[in-house]
């Protein structure tokens, strides 16, 4: 793998923290980018955006993604990774991940699972259980 960084998808869940731990266990202590990819707008935000508001939901979602990725980057050193956090927006989520992986020359992409129930999976979605040809949820 050389000096290419790991790309770890992170959504601040227990599954995401487990993915960080598993990455170190399997791949060793490396440099990593901890990434949260959020949607620019949810359907509700798009509807609410029709009203006059002093901020954009895209900015809010970007900031939340950066905060989540930052928490992941703060956790990563406890597992042995030299990590930086990165929050991006992307639709579909998998494409945002692949774009960042290409940009940074990632050696591997690590995605954890949130272990959702069938009902949660239906409504929330999960990137780790979807193929690129289906609608993906948050990373």
pLDDT in tens, 94-121: 999 999 999 999 999 998 875 555 565 5
Q: Residue 103 belongs to a domain with what CATH number?
A: 3.40.50.620
In a domain, 137, yes or no: no
Structural domain including 32 reads 6-129
Integer-rounded Cα Rg, in Å, for the chain is: 15
What's the pTM?
0.73
Spatial CA neighbour of 76 closest among 127, 39, 37, 110:
110
What's the structural domain count of the chain?
A: 1
pLDDT tier for residue 128 given thresholds of 50, 70 and 90: very low
In a domain, 135, yes or no: no
In a domain, 14, yes or no: yes
pLDDT in tens, 5-56: 999 999 888 889 999 999 999 998 889 999 999 887 655 555 555 555 555 7
In a domain, 82, yes or no: yes
In a domain, 136, yes or no: no
In a domain, 109, yes or no: yes
Q: Reply yes or no on whether the pLDDT at 80 is more than 60.
A: yes
Per-position b or e across 45-78, b if 16+ CB within 10 A of its CB: beeeeeeeeeeebeeebbeebbebbbbbbebbee
- What confidence score (pLDDT) does residue 124 get? 53
Neighbouring-strand partners of residue 108: 6
What dihedral angle (degrees, nearest 10) is formed by the CA atoms of 32, 76, 59, 46? 100
In a domain, 134, yes or no: no
């Amino acid at each position: 793998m050389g000096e290419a960084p790991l790309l770890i998808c992170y959504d601040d869940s227990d599954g995401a923290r487990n993915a960080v731990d598993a990455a170190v266990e399997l791949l060793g202590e490396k440099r990593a980018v901890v990434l949260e990819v959020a949607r620019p707008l949810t359907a509700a935000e798009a509807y609410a955006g029709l009203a006059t508001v002093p901020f954009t939901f895209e900015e809010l979602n970007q900031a939340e993604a950066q905060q989540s990725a930052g928490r992941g980057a703060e956790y990563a050193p406890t597992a042995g990774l030299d990590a930086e956090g990165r929050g991006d927006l992307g639709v579909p989520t998998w494409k945002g991940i692949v774009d960042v992986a290409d940009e940074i020359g990632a050696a591997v992409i690590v995605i954890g699972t949130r272990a959702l129930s069938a009902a949660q999976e239906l409504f929330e979605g999960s990137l780790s259980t979807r193929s690129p040809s289906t609608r993906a949820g948050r990373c």
